[in-house]
Structure 1
Amino acid sequence: MAIMQKAPFLGAALLSVCWGCQTTNDTRYKEWSDYGGGPDHSKYVDYKQITRENVNQLEVAFVYPSGDNVNYRFNPIVVDGVMYVLAKNNSLVAINAATGEELWIHANLRGIIQRGVNFWQSKDKKEKRLLICLNNTLQAIDANTGQSITTFGNGGYVDLKQGLDRDPATFGRATSTTPGKVFDDLIILGSAPGENLFSGPGHLRAYNVISGELEWVFHTIPHPGEYGYDTWPEEAYKYVGGTNTWGEISVDEDRGIAYFPLGSPTYDYDGADRAGSNLFGNCILALDARTGKRLWHLQTVHHDIWDYDLAAAPQLITVNHEGKKVDAVAVASKHGFLFVFDRVTGEPLWPIEERPVPASDMPNEEAWPTQPFPTVVPPFNRQLVSEDDINPYFSAEEKEKWTARVAAAKKGLFHPLSDQYEVVTNPGAVGGANYGNTAADPQNGIVYVQTQELVDFYSLKKREPAPQRGGFGGGRNPGVSPERIAQGKALYAQHCIACHGENRAGIDGLGTTLVNLSTKVNSEAFKSILAVGKGRMPGFPHLNETDVAAIYAYLTPEAQRGGGNRGGDAPELPEGPVVASGGVAVDLPASGGQRMTDYPSTYTGPRSEYVETNNWGLGVPNLLTPPWSLIVAYDLNEGKIKWKIPLGNDDSIPGSENLSMPNGSQGKGMVVTSTGLLFSTCLDGRVYAYNTDDGQMVWSADLGRNNPGGLPAMYEVDGRQYLVVCSVGSLKDKSKAESDVPKGYVVYALPKR
């Protein structure tokens, strides 16, 4: 029986915070002091030196070399003239932000999330801390000295697998793959437990940045008596996982409201065991940042069976709406919609309609009969694939093949998956807007979305029984059995072979070689790469820790024989002012305990029996007619698209200009300036600047490498304005030597006067 969703909105009278307290903050938009710039995640800066008139004079001021072969996706933080970056075999490094001189190095933080860290400082600015997530722990590092703070938590760390109301041994990852947000003396965190069957729950939490004490928890899979419990089967909180914020959190620091984009429940393609709308899966959720109390929510996908997580940062803007100033929040989705709300009450600025969608023909699957469709505000992606959309640059043979496949598939947004046929849709699970892909001009009501037209062919197959699995280990792993190798081989064939090839040698233009992988990447780094992605490859949150271990075991036979770069080897210290290594010593159970592989003994309902067989569009990243990646500017004073432009260029197509880059926005980011510029990175190995009035490109720089990683950042030191881009990809021009092309954090500025 369908369970109706309760009304998502709460009146302003129920809110427990003061709405009129607009505090003065002299550093607002003047520092890049947190992941995404600041609390509101707008990526907006109020600097005046670089303008539309002089941006074409930008030049490289200095490069801080990363010093290794790790493909970082790190967003630097810059405070009081010090830049904090990840480099040198996962070491956290503090450098002089004007010169690149190293100040300190905390080496060998293997397993640190590679997108960024969080920064906190006391009101007198004397005490400064970096909050990092490392191998299922939260740790604090003194930003002045680079040394671990051992008074934080339990001897310097917090075990993030604790406090989730389940046996920690039954699930793997509890760390987020994206930094949280600092608000007052709290660090607010999401998590990335994976989206496979029986992954851990994605509850939201806040910890005290001084003591490490847990301050509050919000159950995203409601417990008995909690709001939303009746949108699930009874006791679903005991076996359903996911429903997590693995993407970007935004905070209204004046009002003390935190906004969370939430992902799919497990298993995200087969919801037979979770009949109902499944709150708070796929919601934009507003919580009191101090207490974790729910203020309002809106579910953008009911009973998600397409992996349409919300991941991009909610954008906090002020708009003129119906003759009044309204503080609003806009959230961009994977399936191409922009939802816009009054950020205090949760009321949509324009109506959101519930429209009928197709029913499922799978046994026990109760697809939700309607889905939310924004009105007025147009989508930023195409949302239907037809035979007329096939890429005209394909060969005749390729075009015929893909045209026939599209013609045979079921089509349309929200068409349920089946084991009897394929469903083709755009955007797919990694299309649309992803993490890093939103920015704003907050006071003028303009929101920018980076997006990609990445098609998915979905289908289902019966799930194979889960084998008993060990975990990662150092050197030869006694848990690596022939069955584990076979499991890894099957997972590789499902998820990796389209880009890396049957022989693991890589396919040109799609994936790099994985031969002798253990000599390049140890097991901890491999876990991180699979979680967050690398280059064109997205992250694979569906794969739990033991699945990843099986793939690594299959790919590293040399390590299983005892050779290669083993996870237990003592790490070397990099050159430079090393002050510490490895974070604090932790006393945690070894990974790879007995995972939850079956439902609770009291469960008698339908079971999730199917898995999805797609490849997240990666085998055909440019199936459609171009452009394949775009930047879309919305004027939300009117609810209209202001302009839309291709992002990047596919240089492999001779004579083409501005076709855009397939998968070009994946994991990239933007910077918006008060002088009317929008900077953006792209997979084509360039950084661009656009006029925010009309989207016209006014500057670009070729970094000489594929895949500038992570979000760019902008800052000012002694009156000079800088743009920093993490450029650590492979060489674009194979005729050049590595030493000829900078690799690391490339910093641009205007020439010194």
Structure 2
Amino acid sequence: MPDGTPSQPVSGNRLPLRRVLPAALALVACALSGDSAFAQTASAHTTWREYGGSADGSQYSALKEVDRSNVSKLQVAWTYRTGDERKYSFNPLVVDGVMYVLAKSNTIVALDAGTGKEIWVHETDPKTTLITNRGINYWESSDRSDRRLLFAVRNELQAIDARTGKSIATFGTNGRVDVREGLGRAPKSLTLVQSYNPGRVFGDLLILGSATNEEYDSGPGDIRAYNVITGKLAWTFHTIPHPGEIGYETWPKDAWKTVGGANDWAGMALDEKRGIVYIPTASPKYNFYGGNRAGANLFGDCLIALNARTGKLVWYFQMVHHDIWDYDNGTTPMLATVRHNGKMVDVVAQAGKVGFVWVFDRETGKPLWPVEERPEPKSDVPGEQTWPTQPFPTKPPPFARQTFTADDLSPFLEADEREQITKQMQAARNHGLFTPPGLGDTVEMPGNNGGANFGGAAVDPTNGNMYVISKDLPAMLKLELATAVSHAGSPEAQGRSIFAANCSICHGADRAGKPPAIPSLVDVDSRLGKDRIESVVRHGQGPMPAFAKLSDADLHSLLAYLAKPDLAPATEAPVQAAPADAAPGSAHYKSGFGFMFARSGLPVIAPPWTTLTAYDLNTGTIRWQEPLGVVPELAAKGFTDTGSQFPKVNPVVTAGGLIFTGTRDRKVRALDSSTGKVLWEAEVPAALEGMPAIYEVGGKQFIVFCAAAQATTYTHNVPGHAASTDPIPGAYVAFALPGTSTN
């Protein structure tokens, strides 16, 4: 529906891209109008009390003591060491001069925001790896007598006193709420429900997304709101609709009982004046095969507008129908006010993995520019029913490359490597963004870990300028029938079965991998040790995704097998999850993520691998695009325009005309928001994954970075470059103009 007309209910092959519910709209506040909207947004965004700086998640600061004229004078004001070797990508909160960070084996720590001095520590289980590790939530009562921090640990929502760090026992049951409950599945069958992002506080409600696993047994991605005082569930929005709900017809009957995903892991934006929360969703599961979920699959890969008080649907738009590419909407929606066709319009913009920025009227969901449904190739995999068309926005232009052929290979490839990859690509299926994964090689670009990822966008809400960090990382997908897990026999035998079902599709049945893109796991126990392997499996590392879904028992068995594989010889072929001639939809096909890296450990596509793109949402045009960061080994040889490799960094834009961000090369930078040129940079103790926080204490502006990730490009063995085993010297590093106290 290019004209943005609200759709009708599903009938046959008609697909509603959006639906406006007048009853829900009647509950929200009236729209802002005229140029006064600019003035109102300019006066806000002066604190950093919420993830991303504010409820709208704009990653914008109206503070402007630090600007283009003096940013080069920034110096370290204070440093706080994380106190362990763990990786952190945490966005601090700052309230009343107190900063809340994650450190010391995943504990919540309160610091003096002006000096970095420790105030208190709230300890969690030192062995835990499952915590809301990108940010937490702050709430206070109207009289400020009750002030709380809210976060999740191991699927349990918790509340602590923001002034003391003490647990609040009256929250939930003995201070805990099990977020696995109420999803229509046996709670203990759901290994991962909590999101690594913190959600949004609206009044006395905490609105949460989730981080379901990547497999066929994933839980549903319901959006839920909890009362911040009692912990009781207030409302639920089913992203896999139940009978009688909008979108139920876009799935097989009773899919909500078995299919998972369609979750919000990327963050959400809240329009507090309207009472609308904007929620981007991910793909349904399994990521690369949908034979068990025929249909368009609402509300997977959607931007959903919900009434924040009730959870009722206001409108939605689906960016990918029946996703079989893992093309999640991977960033927080951006709220701004723009001039469109001579009128001031409040908009919400969404960037994702595909490389598009979608821009909608915030109240109606109508796209600002036409959207075209274009025909796409069919799948040849048994049981798969691809959707016949996919939507393409006509404006703005994409921020990422969306095609990849042998002509686009990196100039840094070795000759024999180039020849090998060229032959593979020429034999692969390669028909653009929506080429269905098949039983042979299929090229995917920008890739399922490409485009924009969590926190990768920021917006200046006063002028409609939006900034997107993205990476170009092509993938080569190939489906094969999955194998079943057996829990019979010794731990090593069980571990071999777990390895076959979860790891062999990438690392091979012989564990030899395909170095350097996929490292060998032969003798990995002696090389890395059990603790390091467990951390990588739980958290992911470099291109490897996290496998947090594995139970403790399964992980123990997997580690036993990797340590002593000879105790579990492969005496028979792995059992397939379903026979090849099974009924359509009952077979489980799987694919590795297929990231295409060269022997050097760098992407096989020509650089730049990371870019920062500036948009003018008033006109739907690109203002500028620049490579972001460097690869130190290449920069030393004079190649400085490559962008960094495999970034997970988040920009923050300021009223001082600056963009602050950091990269894996251990550099933090300030760029001119009007040109993208670097005006200041500094080296920090470790690499960055995450978002800086900008705040003010005593009239002084600070910029704090969480520098606590692996800095080296080489996260596994590469010819001539051993994998880094150095501990991560993590720290929170605050910068300010001269005159700020240091420690």
TM-score for the superposition, normalised by structure 1: 0.86
Do the aligned partners of residues 750 and 385 (structure 1) sit closer, same or farther apart at CA in structure 2, a change above 3 Å counting?
same
Residues 19 and 315 in structure 2, CA contact (< 8 A), matched pair in contact too: yes
Which of residues 518, 532, 552 is equivalent to 2:530? 518
Within the alignment, does 1:480 sit opposite 2:467 as a pair?
no
Q: Report how far residue 158 of structure 1 moved.
A: 0.5
Q: Report how far residue 631 of structure 1 moved.
A: 0.5
Give unmatched runs, 5+ long, in structure 2: 1-10, 508-512, 566-575, 714-720
Do the aligned partners of residues 455 and 214 (structure 1) sit closer, same or farther apart at CA in structure 2, a change above 3 Å counting?
same
Within the alignment, does 1:606 sit opposite 2:585 as a pair?
yes
Residues 128 and 143 in structure 1, CA contact (< 8 A), matched pair in contact too: yes
Q: Which amino acid aligns with 2:558?
A: Y
Do the aligned partners of residues 98 and 150 (structure 1) sit closer, same or farther apart at CA in structure 2, a change above 3 Å counting?
same
Within the alignment, does 1:307 sit opposite 2:326 as a pair?
yes
Do the aligned partners of residues 526 and 455 (structure 1) sit closer, same or farther apart at CA in structure 2, a change above 3 Å counting?
closer
Any idea what the Cα deviations from partners look like across 1:539-597, whole Å, max 9, x if unmatched?
A: 446x7334x86455433679999xxxxxxxxxxxxxxxxxxxxxxxxxxxxxxxxxxx9
Within the alignment, does 1:719 sit opposite 2:719 as a pair?
no
- Where does residue 418 of structure 1 map in the other structure? 438
Q: Report how far residue 479 of structure 1 moved.
A: 8.5
Q: Which amino acid aligns with 2:465?
A: I
Residues 47 and 674 in structure 1, CA contact (< 8 A), matched pair in contact too: yes
Residues 85 and 727 in structure 2, CA contact (< 8 A), matched pair in contact too: no
Q: Report how far residue 664 of structure 1 moved.
A: 4.0
- Where does residue 27 of structure 2 map in the other structure? 17
Q: Which amino acid aligns with 2:632?
A: D
Which of residues 166, 176, 185 is equivalent to 2:204? 185
Moved more, 283-292 or 163-172: 163-172
Residues 708 and 728 in structure 2, CA contact (< 8 A), matched pair in contact too: no
CA–CA distance in structure 1, aligned partners of residues 85 and 94 of structure 2:
24
Any idea what the Cα deviations from partners look like across 1:306-344, whole Å, max 9, x if unmatched?
A: 011112000001100000000000100101111110010
Q: Report how far residue 173 of structure 1 moved.
A: 1.1
Helix, strand or coil at the partner of 2:466: strand
Q: Report how far residue 480 of structure 1 moved.
A: 3.5
Any idea what the Cα deviations from partners look like across 1:89-130, whole Å, max 9, x if unmatched?
A: 111100001111111001234232221211111223332111
- Where does residue 366 of structure 1 map in the other structure? 385
Which structure 2 residues correspond to residues 459-470 of structure 1 after superposition, within 5 A?
459-468=478-487
Which of residues 708, 725, 732 is equivalent to 1:745? 732
Q: Report how far residue 660 of structure 1 moved.
A: 3.1
Any idea what the Cα deviations from partners look like across 1:352-382, whole Å, max 9, x if unmatched?
A: 1000000111112110000000002101111
Residues 249 and 260 in structure 1, CA contact (< 8 A), matched pair in contact too: yes
CA-based RMSD: 3.0
Residues 495 and 559 in structure 2, CA contact (< 8 A), matched pair in contact too: no
Do the aligned partners of residues 303 and 558 (structure 1) sit closer, same or farther apart at CA in structure 2, a change above 3 Å counting?
closer
- Where does residue 501 of structure 1 map in the other structure? 519
Q: Which amino acid aligns with 2:435?
A: H
- Where does residue 642 of structure 2 map in the other structure? 660
Do the aligned partners of residues 269 and 25 (structure 1) sit closer, same or farther apart at CA in structure 2, a change above 3 Å counting?
closer
Q: Which amino acid aligns with 2:123?
A: A
Residues 290 and 585 in structure 2, CA contact (< 8 A), matched pair in contact too: no
Moved more, 552-561 or 478-487: 552-561
Which structure 2 residues correspond to residues 291-690 of structure 1 after superposition, within 5 A?
291-411=310-430, 412-419=432-439, 421-468=440-487, 480=491, 482-488=493-499, 491-495=502-506, 497=513, 498=515, 501-503=519-521, 515-519=527-531, 528-529=538-539, 533-534=540-541, 536-537=542-543, 539-540=545-546, 544-546=549-551, 550=554, 553-555=557-559, 606-617=585-596, 621-653=602-634, 654-666=636-648, 668-690=649-671
Which structure 2 residues correspond to residues 98-177 of structure 1 after superposition, within 5 A?
98-109=114-125, 110=128, 111-177=130-196
- Where does residue 279 of structure 2 map in the other structure? 260
Within the alignment, does 1:4 sit opposite 2:14 as a pair?
yes
Any idea what the Cα deviations from partners look like across 1:139-177, whole Å, max 9, x if unmatched?
A: 001110001100001111111110111222333211112
- Where does residue 60 of structure 1 map in the other structure? 76
Give unmatched runs, 5+ long, in structure 1: 470-477, 507-512, 562-596
Residues 445 and 473 in structure 2, CA contact (< 8 A), matched pair in contact too: yes
Residues 158 and 171 in structure 2, CA contact (< 8 A), matched pair in contact too: yes
Do the aligned partners of residues 98 and 375 (structure 1) sit closer, same or farther apart at CA in structure 2, a change above 3 Å counting?
same
Helix, strand or coil at the partner of 2:632: coil
Residues 664 and 682 in structure 1, CA contact (< 8 A), matched pair in contact too: no
CA–CA distance in structure 1, aligned partners of residues 725 and 255 of structure 2:
53
Q: Report how far residue 514 of structure 1 moved.
A: 7.9
- Where does residue 717 of structure 2 map in the other structure? none
Any idea what the Cα deviations from partners look like across 1:250-295, whole Å, max 9, x if unmatched?
A: 1111111111110111112111111110000100111001100001
Do the aligned partners of residues 637 and 228 (structure 1) sit closer, same or farther apart at CA in structure 2, a change above 3 Å counting?
same
Which of residues 94, 104, 108 is equivalent to 1:92? 108
Do the aligned partners of residues 445 and 730 (structure 1) sit closer, same or farther apart at CA in structure 2, a change above 3 Å counting?
closer
Residues 488 and 550 in structure 1, CA contact (< 8 A), matched pair in contact too: no
Which of residues 28, 34, 37 is equivalent to 2:53? 37
Q: Report how far residue 687 of structure 1 moved.
A: 1.0
Do the aligned partners of residues 726 and 462 (structure 1) sit closer, same or farther apart at CA in structure 2, a change above 3 Å counting?
same
CA–CA distance in structure 2, aligned partners of residues 741 and 131 of structure 1:
27
Residues 691 and 705 in structure 2, CA contact (< 8 A), matched pair in contact too: yes
Do the aligned partners of residues 356 and 730 (structure 1) sit closer, same or farther apart at CA in structure 2, a change above 3 Å counting?
closer
CA–CA distance in structure 1, aligned partners of residues 155 and 728 of structure 2:
36
Moved more, 454-463 or 104-113: 104-113
Q: Report how far residue 6 of structure 1 moved.
A: 2.4
Do the aligned partners of residues 260 and 598 (structure 1) sit closer, same or farther apart at CA in structure 2, a change above 3 Å counting?
farther
Any idea what the Cα deviations from partners look like across 1:382-430, whole Å, max 9, x if unmatched?
A: 11111110001112222222222222211121011111x2111211101
Helix, strand or coil at the partner of 1:339: strand
Within the alignment, does 1:196 sit opposite 2:215 as a pair?
yes
CA–CA distance in structure 2, aligned partners of residues 83 and 634 of structure 1:
32
Percent identity of paired positions between Structure 1 and Structure 2: 41
Q: Which amino acid aligns with 1:29?
A: H
- Where does residue 234 of structure 2 map in the other structure? 215
Q: Report how far residue 28 of structure 1 moved.
A: 3.0
Helix, strand or coil at the partner of 1:158: strand
Do the aligned partners of residues 108 and 417 (structure 1) sit closer, same or farther apart at CA in structure 2, a change above 3 Å counting?
same
Any idea what the Cα deviations from partners look like across 1:180-235, whole Å, max 9, x if unmatched?
A: 11111111101112121121111110001111010000011001110000011111
CA–CA distance in structure 2, aligned partners of residues 392 and 269 of structure 1:
30
Residues 492 and 551 in structure 1, CA contact (< 8 A), matched pair in contact too: no
- Where does residue 675 of structure 2 map in the other structure? 694
Moved more, 482-491 or 20-29: 20-29
TM-score for the superposition, normalised by structure 2: 0.87
Q: Report how far residue 704 of structure 1 moved.
A: 4.3
- Where does residue 5 of structure 2 map in the other structure? none
Q: Report how far residue 17 of structure 1 moved.
A: 2.5
